């Protein structure tokens, strides 16, 4: 009895060290992430810009929902037809154009690399090379592609004209869908290797006996993929989806450094939401208030995706257990 | 008959192997070709680059390289940008990995009120990207006189939820808590136990996270380009942005040389450490 008392005392005493160990993280988080977030949300409800004529800052003064009005409602009075939502739309379009082929190719490669029947011996080398673009500076890659798709004498135009595919060089970066496709391609090219490695690890995590059992039952490779691999891989694929969506919403470096003026050419059709926020806040009239409101919109959309992830990833067994306990308690109460 | 069937099966596997390898080789080439064109063009003169496409290196690299150094030096030396990036990346990596291990240790090795909440909180904030709060961050940093300074690029690395997450996952399997008890009996203080016993046991995870933290900071363009204003403080990705500008535009060979030089350090690091990097990605991805 006395012994258990002392050991209990001990854990309580050492417990306080836990606070010391986690303190730096929470202090830094509060100062450098939480406070800026609150500050941004606060600015969203304020009038704050730089008067270039008087060379002076205006505000921040509280002005309610005025910033949001300009973000949701265009000058013609239509809703969602604003620069903010167009930028958000551009971002989502370019994210989806990269994600759809990315997940398909990654899935195909993951299945190939884990196939025990058709072995790919050099897969170590393939993984190293396919993943490589992921760790190269996005800024450098963007400027490189900017040079490669140069008009009229960039290497791609030279190749296409030399090969006789096109008679005239093509102005890739002055065409909406060509520019969007290039940005999506760069994202795809940088990230499918990463997704492939994650999914490969996922397939390897599936119990081999399941595959064996399916094979003994005479299932074809396609049936095994459809009925064993895919359902068991779903949580990881959804995790990849949400992760990629959240990352994609913040897309900045590539469109910023690839487009000719750095403002999402042509005609702002490749301007992403983060590019727009920074344009609002740091150029011209420096509309910090409106930028704050646009940030809040981005935050809400990001939060939505995170909550979807949390909902999907929630511990279903734990919830079931809780429900069972509650039901049991109810039953006992009823019996009493 | 059985033998014949076996042979047919074998042939179909062979065909499958050839197709799959061919596609993989194509994808590998796709990864390499843009960089190969960059390296080739870094060795050619601007006139040659303008007039024709080539996959064979020429001999003008030193020329382009010297032009690049000269052009960069009109504002600040190329080495300066590299040094700046290196300074920021190394400092933030050390802080991020050390304090993340510490945080993970705090919630794993100690039982205290709120430990579970702290962990849930870290998981919850993992998904919040820095971009959504950058307006407030910018204003706050300038308000306290930290604008155009490296501190806002280094200090926030202490709170890196994803690194904490990875560290804890590893810690649960690699750090037996009994060791900590025996260290206590031997009279070791809690912080000493962490530094001399827990940290060394975490070495593989620390190494993996060091690589990721370093690459993340080295490649960062978003925050530095928002905060830094004086040319001598610019980082390498910011210099890359400048290579698109007027000063460099006329000399294509020089730009390709510049891009090649900025990529080289990370290229070398990658090919030395690729095994660990890929293993780390696989581990990080399999989050329950």
pLDDT for B288:
36
Query: Which architecture characterizes domain A87-306 according to CATH?
Result: Orthogonal Bundle (1.10)
Q: How confident is the model at residue B285 (pLDDT cuts 50, 70, 90)?
A: low
Q: Provide long-range contacts, Cβ within 8 A and 24+ apart, for A256-263.
A: A256/A142, A256/B221, A257/A138, A257/A139, A257/A142, A257/A143, A257/A146, A257/B221, A257/B240, A257/B241, A257/B244, A258/A142, A258/A143, A258/A145, A258/A146, A258/A173, A258/A179, A258/A182, A258/A183, A258/A186, A259/A173, A259/A179, A260/A173, A260/A174
Rounded Cα–Cα distance for residues B59 and B55 (Å): 13
Total residues found in chain A within this entry? 336
Mutate to test the interface with A, among B81, B132, B238, B255 (most CBs of A within 10 A): B132
What are the pLDDT digits (tens) for B151-166? Answer: 999 999 999 999 999 9
The CA distance from A55 to the nearest CA of chain B, in Å, is 18
List of chain A residues whose C-beta atoms are within 8 Å of the C-beta of residue B284: 198
Q: Specify the 3-state DSSP secondary structure of A297.
A: helix
Contact residues, chain B, for A295 at CB < 8 Å: 131-135
Domain that holds residue B130: 75-242
B141 within some domain: yes
Q: Is A164 on the interface with B (CB under 8 A)?
A: no
**Count of CB atoms situated within 10 Å of the CB of B202:** 21
- What's the mean per-residue pLDDT of chain A? 87
DSSP state of B143: H
Q: Average pLDDT of A175-183? A: 93
Q: How confident is the model at residue A291 (pLDDT cuts 50, 70, 90)?
A: very high
Whether residue A275 has pLDDT greater than 60: yes
What does the pLDDT average to over B254-268?
91
B185 and B152 inside one domain: yes
Query: For the ranges A285-299, A313-327, B44-58, B110-124, which has the lowest average pLDDT?
Result: A313-327
Q: Are B219 and A28 inside 8 Å of each other by CB?
A: no
The structural domain count of chain B equals 2
Question: Which residues of chain A make contact with B278, given a CB cutoff of 8 A?
Answer: 127-128, 131, 197
Predicted local confidence at residue A22, as pLDDT: 93
Q: Are residues B214 and B177 in the same domain?
A: yes
Report if residue B284 sits inside a domain.
no
Contact A24 B158 (CB under 8 A): yes
DSSP A28-93: HHIIIIIHHHHHHHHHHTEEEEEETTTTEEEEEEE-TTHHHHHHHB-TTS-BS-SHHHHHHHHHHH
Question: Dihedral angle at the C-alpha atoms of B19, B24, B26, B29, nearest 10 degrees?
Answer: -160
Reference B285, options A193, A6, A152; nearest CA is A193
Peptide bond into A273 cis (omega under 30): no
Distance from C-alpha of A34 to C-alpha of A123, rounded to nearest angstrom: 43
Is residue B152 assigned to a domain? yes
pLDDT band at A50 (very low <50, low <70, confident <90, very high): confident
Region of A124 on the Ramachandran plot (φ > 0 left; ψ -120 to 50 alpha; else beta): alpha
- Distance in angstroms between the alpha carbons of the first and the last residue of chain A: 35
Residue A111 near chain B (CB below 8 Å): no
Q: Are residues B44 and B82 in the same domain?
A: no
* Mean predicted confidence (pLDDT) in A140-147: 94
CATH number of the domain enclosing B104: 1.10.3720.10
Least confident of A51-65, A161-175, A217-231: A51-65
Instruction: Say if A261 is an interface residue toward chain B (CB within 8 Å).
Output: no
Which chain B residues have a beta carbon less than 8 Å from that of A145? Answer: 34
pLDDT (0 to 100) of residue A325: 77
Pick from B112, B22, B88: which is nearest to B223 by CA?
B88
Give me the pLDDT at residue A254, please.
Answer: 94
Q: Which residues of B touch A19 (CB under 8 A)?
A: 106, 112
B268 domain residue, yes or no:
no
Complex ipTM value = 0.91
At residue A3, the pLDDT reads 43
Mean pLDDT of A23-52: 92
Long-range (24+ apart) CB contacts under 8 A made by B216-219 are: B217/B88, B217/B89, B217/B92, B217/B93, B217/B153, B217/B157, B218/A137, B218/B85, B218/B86, B218/B89, B218/B265, B218/B266, B219/A135, B219/A136, B219/A137, B219/A138, B219/A139, B219/B266
Give, to the nearest 10 degrees, the angle between helix B2-42 and helix A138-148. 80
The per-residue pLDDT for A6 is: 45
The mean pLDDT of chain B is 89
Task: Tell me how many residue pairs between chain A and chain B have CB atoms under 8 A apart.
Answer: 284
Per the CB < 8 Å rule, is A22 touching B113?
no
Residues of chain B contacting residue A17, judged by C-beta atoms under 8 Å apart: 106, 110, 190
User: For residue B266, which of A31, A134, A120 has the smallest C-alpha distance?
Assistant: A134
Candidates A40, A135, A197; nearest CB to B136: A40
Considering only residues 144 to 163 of chain A, which have any Cβ-Cβ distance to chain B shorter than 8 Å?
144-148, 153, 155, 158-159, 162
CB spacing of B28 vs A20 below 8 angstroms: no
Q: How far is CA A237 from the centre of its chain?
A: 13
At B232 the pLDDT is 92
Q: Which residues of A touch B155 (CB under 8 A)?
A: 28, 32
- Cβ neighbours for A60, distance < 8 A, ≥ 6 positions apart: A42, A43, A46, A47, A48, A288, A289
- pLDDT over 50 (residue B253): yes
Both B233 and B93 in one domain: the answer is yes
Q: Is the pLDDT of residue A11 over 70?
A: no
A183-240 pLDDT tens trace: 999 999 999 999 999 999 999 988 889 988 998 998 888 899 899 998 888 888 888 8
Strand partners, A56: A51
Indicate whether B250 belongs to any domain: no
Q: Does A220 touch chain B (CB under 8 A)?
A: no
Nearest-Cα residue of chain A relative to residue B146: A32
Q: What is the pLDDT of residue A181?
A: 95
- Structure confidence at residue A324 (pLDDT): 76
Whole-angstrom CA distances from B148 to A31, A197, A213, B3, B229 are 18, 38, 62, 75, 6
pLDDT of residue A69: 87
- Residue B269 forms part of a structural domain: no
Using N-to-C axis directions, what is the helix angle for A138-148 and B252-285, rounded to 10°?
130
What does the block give as tokens for A51?
């008067």
Same domain as B186, residue B212: yes
Measure in Å the smallest separation between the Cα of B76 and chain A Cα atoms.
19
The arithmetic mean of pLDDT across residues B23-30, rounded, is 96
Enter the DSSP assignment of B127: T
Instruction: Find the closest chain A residue to B40 by CA distance.
Output: A155
Q: Same structural domain for residues B218 and B118?
A: yes
- Quickly state the pLDDT bin for A2 (edges 50, 70, 90): very low
Q: Compute the nearest-CA separation of B201 from chain A (Å).
A: 17
pLDDT score at B206: 92
**B79 in the same domain as B53:** no
Q: What is the pLDDT of residues A74-129, one digit of tens each?
A: 888 888 888 999 999 999 999 999 999 999 999 999 999 998 888 888 889 999 99
Backbone angles phi, psi at A50, to 5 degrees: -115, 120
Give B228 or B2, the one with higher predicted confidence.
Answer: B228
Chain A nearest-CA residue for B285: A198
The reported pLDDT for the residue numbered A301 is: 93
- Domain contains B158: yes
Contact A140 B140 (CB under 8 A): no
Contact B134 A112 (CB under 8 A): no
Please check the confidence at residue B103 and state whether its pLDDT lies above 50.
Answer: yes
For chain A, the domains span 87-306
DSSP A254: H
Task: Pick the range with the lowest mean pLDDT from A52-61, A294-303, B80-89, B228-237.
Answer: A52-61
What is the chain A residue with the closest CA to B130? Answer: A33
């Amino acid at each position: 009895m006395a012994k258990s008392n002392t050991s209990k005392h001990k854990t309580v005493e050492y417990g306080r060290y836990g606070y010391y160990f986690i303190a730096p993280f929470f202090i830094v988080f509060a100062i450098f992430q939480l406070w800026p977030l609150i500050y941004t949300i606060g600015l969203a409800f304020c009038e704050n810009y730089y008067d270039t004529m008087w060379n002076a800052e205006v505000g921040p003064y509280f002005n309610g929902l005025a910033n949001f009005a300009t973000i949701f409602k265009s000058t013609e009075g239509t809703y969602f037809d604003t620069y903010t939502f167009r930028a958000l739309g551009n971002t989502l379009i370019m994210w989806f154009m990269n994600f759809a082929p990315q997940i398909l190719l990654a899935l195909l490669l993951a299945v190939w690399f884990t196939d025990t029947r058709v072995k790919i011996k050099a897969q170590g080398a393939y993984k190293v090379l396919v993943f490589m673009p992921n760790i190269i500076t996005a800024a450098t890659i963007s400027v490189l592609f900017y040079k490669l798709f140069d008009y009229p004498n960039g290497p791609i135009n030279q190749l296409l004209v030399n090969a006789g595919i096109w008679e005239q060089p093509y102005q890739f970066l002055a065409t909406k869908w060509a520019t969007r496709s290039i940005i999506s391609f760069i994202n795809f090219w940088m990230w499918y290797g990463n997704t492939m490695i994650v999914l490969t690890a996922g397939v390897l995590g599936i119990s081999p006996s399941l595959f064996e059992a399916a094979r003994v039952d005479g299932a074809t490779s396609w049936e095994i993929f459809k009925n064993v691999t895919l359902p068991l891989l779903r949580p990881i694929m959804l995790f990849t989806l949400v992760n990629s969506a959240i990352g994609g919403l913040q897309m900045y470096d590539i469109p910023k450094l690839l487009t000719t003026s750095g403002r999402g050419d042509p005609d702002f059709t490749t301007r992403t939401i983060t590019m727009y926020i920074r344009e609002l806040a740091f150029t011209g009239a420096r509309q910090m208030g409106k930028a704050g409101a646009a940030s809040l919109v981005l935050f809400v959309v990001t939060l939505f995706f995170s909550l979807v992830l949390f909902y999907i990833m929630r511990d279903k067994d734990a919830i079931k257990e809780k429900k069972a306990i509650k039901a049991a308690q109810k039953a006992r109460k009823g019996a009493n | 008959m059985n033998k014949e069937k076996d042979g047919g099966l074998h042939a179909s596997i062979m065909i499958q192997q050839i197709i799959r390898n061919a596609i993989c080789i194509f994808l590998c080439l796709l990864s390499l070709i843009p960089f190969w064109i960059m390296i080739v063009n870094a060795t050619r003169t601007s006139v040659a680059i303008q007039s024709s496409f080539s996959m064979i290196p020429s001999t003008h690299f030193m020329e382009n390289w010297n032009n690049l150094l000269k052009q960069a030096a009109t504002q600040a030396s190329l080495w300066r940008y590299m040094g700046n990036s290196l300074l920021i990346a190394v400092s933030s990596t050390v802080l991020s990995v050390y304090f993340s291990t510490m945080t993970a240790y705090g919630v794993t090795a100690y039982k205290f009120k709120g430990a579970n909440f702290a962990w849930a909180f870290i998981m919850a904030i993992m998904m919040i990207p820095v971009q959504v709060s950058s307006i407030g961050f910018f204003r706050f940093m300038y308000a306290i006189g930290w604008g155009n300074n490296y501190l806002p690029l280094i200090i926030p690395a202490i709170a890196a939820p994803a690194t904490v997450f990875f560290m804890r996952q590893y810690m649960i399997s690699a750090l037996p808590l009994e060791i900590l008890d025996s260290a206590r009996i031997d009279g070791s203080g809690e912080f000493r136990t962490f530094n001399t016993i827990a940290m060394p046991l975490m070495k593989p995870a620390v190494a993996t996270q060091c690589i990721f933290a370093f690459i993340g900071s080295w490649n960062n363009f978003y925050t530095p380009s928002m905060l830094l204003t004086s040319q001598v403080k610019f980082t390498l990705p910011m210099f890359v942005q400048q290579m698109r500008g007027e000063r460099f535009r006329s000399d294509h060979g020089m730009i390709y040389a510049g891009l090649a030089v900025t990529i080289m350090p990370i290229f070398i690091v990658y090919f030395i450490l690729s095994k660990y990097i890929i293993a780390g990605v696989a581990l990080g991805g399999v989050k329950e």
